[in-house]
């Protein structure tokens, strides 16, 4: 049990360090260092922004444009990042969400023969929250993520998870308890409540 608590503490510290590291990178960009910190932020977030773009815009070319424009705006607006208002991920995805809506509204972005409706704010918000939840899940240790995914994605009961993984039921219960605590903390760090 103490080992699980220690793993939870280490994982929580790693997630906090990642967010703190992202905040430091944004601070360095805001202070005028446009090289390595911006490249590192791009490395950490570009694929997720691209995924958001594909989901929102249904066009890979526009998704690529979204990534490029998002990081230009991050470069220009890094000084506006306020950790009291949200995590670095929230700051970056808010920029991306606004840009995606602008890109969608641009007449040259839409096919001439079809004029599909603009994604609703609610739909965009759900996608951004979904990306945040996926990011929070990815920050968990493999054993913790595994029990949560088997439980919620595969709809397995704890006894079925124990059988599938070949571990005692008590271990599944302990992992689930600590996984949920770690997930809640990771979600709060990303500004996702509820």
Is 127 among the domain residues?
yes
Whether the CB-CB separation of 192 and 133 falls below 8 Å is answered with: yes
Question: What domain range is 162 assigned to?
Answer: 2-189
Q: CA-based Rg of the chain, rounded to a whole angstrom?
A: 19
Q: How many domains does the chain have?
A: 1
Token pair, residue 194, equals 């509820």
Distances (CA, A) of 151 to 66, 148, 164, 175: 34, 5, 11, 12
Burial class (CB in 10 A: 0-12, 13-18, 19+), 67: buried
Confidence at residue 2, expressed as pLDDT on a 0 to 100 scale: 39
Is 81 among the domain residues?
yes
Confidence at residue 124, expressed as pLDDT on a 0 to 100 scale: 65
Is 73 among the domain residues?
yes
Confidence at residue 82, expressed as pLDDT on a 0 to 100 scale: 85
Is 184 among the domain residues?
yes
- Report the run of H or E that residue 142 belongs to, with start and end: helix 142-148
Please provide the distance, in angstroms rounded to a whole number, between the alpha carbons at the two ends of the chain. 28
Tens of pLDDT, residue by residue over 165-189, are 999 999 999 999 998 998 888 888 7
Tens of pLDDT, residue by residue over 2-44, are 333 433 343 344 444 466 688 899 989 888 876 789 999 999 9
Is 194 among the domain residues?
no
pTM for the structure as a whole: 0.52
pLDDT, mean over the chain: 80
Query: Per-residue pLDDT for 110 more than 80?
Result: no
What CATH number is associated with residue 14? 1.10.1740.10
Is 82 among the domain residues?
yes
């Amino acid at each position: 049990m103490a080992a699980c608590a220690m793993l939870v503490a280490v994982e929580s510290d790693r997630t906090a360090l990642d967010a703190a590291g992202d905040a430091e990178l944004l601070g360095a960009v805001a202070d005028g260092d446009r090289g390595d910190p911006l490249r590192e932020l791009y490395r950490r977030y570009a694929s997720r922004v691209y995924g958001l773009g594909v989901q929102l815009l249904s066009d890979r070319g526009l998704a690529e444009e979204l990534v490029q424009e998002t990081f230009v705006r991050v470069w220009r607006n890094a000084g506006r990042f306020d950790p009291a208002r949200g995590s670095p991920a929230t700051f970056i995805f808010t920029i991306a969400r606004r840009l995606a809506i602008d890109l969608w509204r641009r007449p040259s972005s839409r096919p001439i023969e079809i004029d599909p409706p603009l994604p609703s704010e609610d739909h965009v918000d759900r996608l951004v929250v979904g990306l945040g939840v996926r990011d929070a899940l990815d920050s968990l240790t493999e054993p913790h993520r595994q029990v949560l995914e088997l439980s919620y994605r595969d709809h397995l009961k704890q006894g079925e998870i124990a059988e599938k993984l070949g571990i005692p039921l008590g271990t599944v219960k302990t992992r689930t308890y600590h996984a949920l605590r770690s997930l809640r903390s990771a979600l709060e760090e990303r500004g996702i409540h509820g």
